[in-house]
Amino acid sequence: MRARLPAHSRRAGGRARGRRTGGVVRAGQSQRGHGRGADHPAPAPIASHSKTFTATAVFQLVEAGKLRLDDTAGHWLPELGGSPAADMTVRALLGHQSGINRDGADSDYWQQRHAFPDRQTLLDFARAEAVFPQNQHFKYSNIGYGLLGLIVEAAGGEGYGDYIQTHITGPLELTDLGAELPPEREAELATGHGARLFGNDARRTLPSSDTRALAAATGFYGTAEALTAYWARHTLGRDGLLSDASKRLMARRESEITKPTRRGYGLGLILDEIGGRGLVGHSGGFPGHITQSWLDPKTGLSISVLTNTLGGPATEWAGNLIRLIDLAHKNAGKTADTAHNLDSFTGRFANAWGLFDIVNLGGRLVALTPLGDPSASAVELTVQDANTLCPEPEGGFGSVGEPYHFQRAENGEIQWVRQGGGRSWPLEAYQAGAELD
């Protein structure tokens, strides 16, 4: 999980800390036995994030005068002649408005029953009858983006992976981001885990897959750090990849999507809004991995969450991380009216009912529940004395308005905190059985 803040935000003095849990890559360790250390986390498949790179490559070629958005697929891929795919435009393919099938007639490669399509198989899948007429419905398609990869090769004059390295990841010096992980780096890749059909099922570990001709749709690998650096270059006003005119066109709402949630799609970008922020980004699902990235193209805030398990809550966590950052920024302009050290009250606390955190967000103390939208559970706290915090008055079902009383050891460390009559202990102490003392 990684958040890249714009420069003015990093200077604000706020402090954010993350805890990797569940199916997230832990401390950069590849479970294939080659840990890379916390400062060099393991790369993971980022699946449909690949589409944003393909769209970026297309727009680079458009800017260079080598490709047009209204070019047809058949213009660049004569093998499609005589099929509905021949008349599909680059723009329709980018925006999932072509009507082409999603994954081909036999997509059990997603269950790792056989190999991903090679070029000929991709073209065979693409030549099938279209599901919808062009520009009638948003219809997500990996086959369509596979064709765009072939078009990038034809218009760019080099292999797809070579083009990405030469024009995108290479210039940005992102060595942990690419179109397909080289075989010699296979041992570095984070291990994926299968879905649970029932709550107590053991998760199966899943091998990696070479996506072959579908690399442009789903083959990329990366780390959260490399991804946020890439996304930051899509910020308006930043150079290195595309002009602002191309960025705006990519982010123009081509389609309105209503299932499973309401959001939009541009040309290679998912469009959404969280807390008043207009966001662009993409999600990704691959055997054993669920991922999500968001960028605020106006401020440069970029978020990437990579989980190495099917069913991983990457989209939920990415959204909640944005909400948490916004909550910290909301407090950044406030000043705590106390001489006490705010950090002396902070920590994660546990009791028989669960967990809560007391955190220093931009110079103000806030109590949070580490589940769901942090702003929904946030309670601002005011220091009354060295051992007492008072919550902001409000109505609610919990122990609203009742102070937090801290019991400390002689060295000042928190032994427990009592709020609403009940005690909670620092998490480590609770896990060690301190509540039984």
> 10-19, 261-270, 385-394 — which is least confidently predicted?
10-19
* Separation of alpha carbons 97 and 382, rounded Å: 53
* Separation of alpha carbons 335 and 384, rounded Å: 15
Identify the pLDDT of residue 89: 98
- What pLDDT digit, counting tens, does each position of 77-106 carry? 999 999 999 999 999 999 999 999 999 999
Contact predicate 381/390, CB 8 Å: yes
Angstrom distances, CA of residue 266 to CA of 44, 85, 102 = 25, 21, 18
Q: Omega of the bond prior to 45 within 30 degrees of 0, cis?
A: no
Pick from 242, 305, 303: nearest CA to 277: 303
Query: To the nearest 10°, the Cα dihedral for 118, 123, 124, 129?
Result: 140
Query: Is 0.85 surpassed by the pTM of this model?
Result: yes
* Separation of alpha carbons 75 and 88, rounded Å: 10
Identify the pLDDT of residue 333: 64
Contact predicate 397/420, CB 8 Å: no
- What pLDDT digit, counting tens, does each position of 214-253 carry? 999 999 999 999 999 999 999 999 999 999 999 999 999 9
| % of the chain surpassing 90 pLDDT | 81
How confident is the prediction for the chain on average, in pLDDT? 90
* Separation of alpha carbons 140 and 236, rounded Å: 27
Q: Which residue has the tokens 């198989």?
A: 121
Pick from 367, 363, 360: nearest CA to 335: 363
Strands 192-193 and 255-257: unpaired
